[in-house]
């Protein structure tokens, strides 16, 4: 596996954090000589554009455009929830290429009554979710927010979140500041294969 070093010297082998390259694939239409971006690549490009535009309109908030944000946030997704008032989790990976620790302090969205940082603990042989005050992001490490572990909990969603929808999520870090990301919603079965 290739190793990558970012501009600030962060070295890692995780393929999700390697420099992205746009790959093209042949169109299914044999008459067409044009090449198409895959659906995933197209979504990634659109999200990058949207994040850049949202950073430009941030006003007086201490919010960095995604491409300038000091932490690397990738693979964000939310689990589908079929009814209003239900709860769901948001999962993502946070890479910290700096020499200093940071902490995720707050997550916020308009699609739920409350947003909390959670983890799972074993209590009497049962896995239970517990709210945590923060999530530490150690220097030169990647912290995974994943099912069965650390995650962002959306409590009391205001309307069903269906596969293919997207939600805006704002993350506030102690050192890095605030960044808004777009989170795609996935079906539970699709998410398990992620």
- Helices marked H in 9-154: 39-56
The predicted model scores a pTM of 0.65
CA dihedral 134, 138, 143, 148 (to 10 degrees): -50
pLDDT tens by residue, the chain, 194 residues = 444 444 444 444 555 554 433 333 333 433 333 344 455 555 555 555 455 544 433 333 344 555 568 899 999 999 999 888 899 999 999 999 999 999 999 999 999 999 999 998 878 888 888 999 999 999 999 999 999 999 999 999 999 999 999 999 999 999 999 999 999 999 876 655 44
Q: Which domains occur in the chain, in start order?
A: 4-192 (2.60.40.1890)
Cα–Cα distances in angstroms (integers) from residue 15 to residues 7, 90, 116, 127, in the given order: 17, 21, 29, 30
Identify the pLDDT of residue 143. Answer: 96
Identify the pLDDT of residue 146. Answer: 94
Output phi, psi for 89, to 5 deg. Answer: -110, 150
The 3-state DSSP class for residue 45 equals helix
Query: DSSP letter at 15?
Result: G
Identify the pLDDT of residue 173. Answer: 96
List, as one string, the DSSP characters of 125-146: TEEEEEE-S-EEE-TTEEEEE-
Identify the pLDDT of residue 190. Answer: 62
């Amino acid at each position: 596996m290739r190793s990558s070093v970012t501009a600030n010297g962060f070295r890692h082998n995780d393929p999700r954090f390697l420099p992205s390259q746009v790959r093209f694939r042949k169109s299914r239409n044999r008459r067409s000589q044009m090449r198409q971006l895959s659906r995933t690549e197209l979504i990634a490009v659109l999200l990058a554009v949207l994040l850049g535009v949202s950073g430009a309109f941030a006003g007086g908030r201490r919010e960095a455009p995604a491409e300038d944000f000091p932490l690397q946030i990738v693979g964000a997704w939310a689990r589908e929830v079929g009814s209003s008032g239900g709860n769901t989790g948001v999962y993502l990976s946070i890479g910290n290429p700096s020499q200093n620790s940071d902490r995720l302090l707050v997550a916020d969205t308009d699609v739920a009554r409350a947003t909390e940082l959670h983890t799972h603990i074993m209590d009497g042989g049962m896995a239970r979710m517990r709210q945590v005050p923060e999530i530490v992001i150690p220097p030169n490490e990647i912290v995974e927010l994943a099912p069965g572990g650390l995650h962002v909990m959306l409590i009391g969603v205001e309307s069903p979140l269906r596969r293919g929808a997207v939600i805006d999520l704002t993350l506030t870090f102690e050192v890095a500041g605030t960044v808004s990301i777009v989170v795609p919603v996935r079906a539970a079965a699709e998410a398990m294969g992620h």
